[in-house]
Amino acid sequence: MTARVLAEVFPPGDFLREELEARGWTQSEFAEIIGRPLPAVNQIIAGKRGISPTTAKELEAALGPSARFWMNLDMAWRLQQAEPAPARIKKVARIRAHYPVREMTRRGWLEASGSPDVMEAQLLRFFAIRSLDEKPELPHVVRRTSRPAADLTPLQTAWLFRVKQLAEVVQAADFSLKKLRDSIEPLRALMIAPEEARHVPRVLSEAGVRFVVVEPFPGSKIDGVCFWLSKTQPVIGMTLRFDRIDNFWFVLWHEIKHVLERHGQSTVIVDSDLDSSGGNEDEQSDEERIANRAATEFCIPRVELDDFVARTHPIFSRRRVEGFAELQQVHPGIVVGQLQRRLGRYDVLRSYLAKVRDIVASSAITDGYGRTVPVLV
């Protein structure tokens, strides 16, 4: 028999009845042919029973259309008769596809709710958008470890807006570039010891820069951000995901340079540090190259580091590193960090890489690392 194409959806029992009538078979006779009880055939024809794979193969053997045809006919009919899926399912799936609801709820940024309407309202407030069709927008310069891409990931975007949320309540003096430039030497004086990092939030605040620490989501690979709440309200947000004195100061100086250059006031710039050695400059934005070079210079002046490497390579003894650090008036871990980046050798004197996360987090507005901040709306 020629394969049939369904033009409309109707019960498979109707088609079976027509096939039996075309052959002049009774339902009882057909039941004998396929070896099924008569009530089973009656129920299929009456639309009270579906067609199983086994029955579909029996119908194929007896009547000709393929077993797949009978199964598709039955499935199409069942789908038509089924109740529509609740509208909430589509809405919840849409929300979850675009926003990291589970992770944000775990962090306390959203309240757990089974209502998609309540969840939608929370997301609209958190991201300052009017509808879920609207993309959260915030001009910024962000530093992360990944391949360059135009957009942040949903996890990175949620982190960015949490930084913004906290920065809005940070108290800071009126900002001026002069104040920030004048704070460079006081900040550099803090690089002498890990515990001195506790003063960083205060010094930045006095210069008019709002400083916030937000723990990143696992796998989000983000280090810091610079953005502006207004033309006179710069914000520096950091994750401190690498708990090392060298990384803290490098990222901090990197973001300070962005503020000094007023980067991120009107556009989105993604700084992608492709690897721990600083990445390939050809794949970096102009803004990132400027900030990276400035951060390196702030930590250890390039000329001084070049001279030290030329005099001591390949043997970097503790005595020489400590002597050079004392000359530069910085902690030895900052020297070691710069040597590691320069040489691509991350085994060099790692014991000098002191931890500063708890020190910084204890003096800054911090969300994460065992510290919680109430949800701000």
Together in a domain, 214 and 361: yes
Q: Give ∠ CA 359-276-298 in degrees, rounded to 5.
A: 60
Residue 214: partners with Cβ closer than 8 Å, 6 or more residues away: 159, 162, 163, 166, 237, 238, 239, 366, 367, 368
In one letter, which amino acid is 285? S
The enclosing domain of 25 has a CATH number of: 1.10.260.40
Together in a domain, 230 and 259: yes
Go through 324-360 and write b for each residue having 16 or more CB atoms within 10 A of its CB, e for each that does not.
bbeebebbbbbbbbbbbbbeeeeebbeebbbebbebb
Together in a domain, 111 and 228: no
Together in a domain, 292 and 150: yes
Together in a domain, 284 and 194: yes
Distance CA 120, CA 194 (A): 43
pTM for this one?
0.82
Residue 123 lies in a domain: yes
Question: pLDDT truncated to tens, each residue of the chain (377 aa)?
Answer: 455 544 567 889 999 999 999 999 999 999 999 999 999 999 999 988 999 999 999 999 999 889 999 999 999 998 888 888 888 888 899 899 999 999 999 999 999 988 999 999 999 999 999 998 899 999 999 988 765 556 889 999 999 999 999 999 999 999 999 999 999 999 999 999 999 999 999 999 999 999 999 999 999 999 999 999 999 999 999 999 999 999 999 999 999 999 999 999 988 888 766 444 444 555 677 888 899 999 999 999 999 999 999 999 888 899 999 999 999 999 999 999 999 988 888 888 999 999 999 999 999 999 999 998 876 55
Together in a domain, 120 and 232: no
Element (H, E) at 238: strand 233-238
Together in a domain, 150 and 290: yes
Together in a domain, 71 and 173: no
Together in a domain, 150 and 123: no
Residue 177 CB neighbour total at 10 angstroms:
14
Residue 270 β-bridge partners: 142
Distance CA 256, CA 201 (A): 12
Together in a domain, 216 and 169: yes
Residue 376 lies in a domain: no
**Is 76:9 a contact under the CB 8 Å cutoff?**
yes
Q: Give ∠ CA 135-136-138 in degrees, rounded to 5.
A: 130
- Sign of the Cα pseudo-torsion (87, 89, 95, 98, in order): negative
Domain final residue, candidates 64, 99, 127: 127
**Is 271:285 a contact under the CB 8 Å cutoff?**
yes
Structural domain that includes position 96: 87-127
Residue 110 lies in a domain: yes
Q: Coil, strand, or helix at residue 254?
A: helix
φ/ψ of 316, rounded to 5, equals: -110, 90
Residue 205 lies in a domain: yes
Q: Give ∠ CA 336-298-335 in degrees, rounded to 5.
A: 10
Distance CA 142, CA 214 (A): 14
Residue 311 lies in a domain: no
Residue 366 β-bridge partners: 213
Q: In the structure encoding, which two tokens stand for residue 350, read together?
A: 């790692």
Number of domains in the chain: 3
Q: What is the CA radius of gyration of the chain?
A: 33
**Is 11:77 a contact under the CB 8 Å cutoff?**
yes
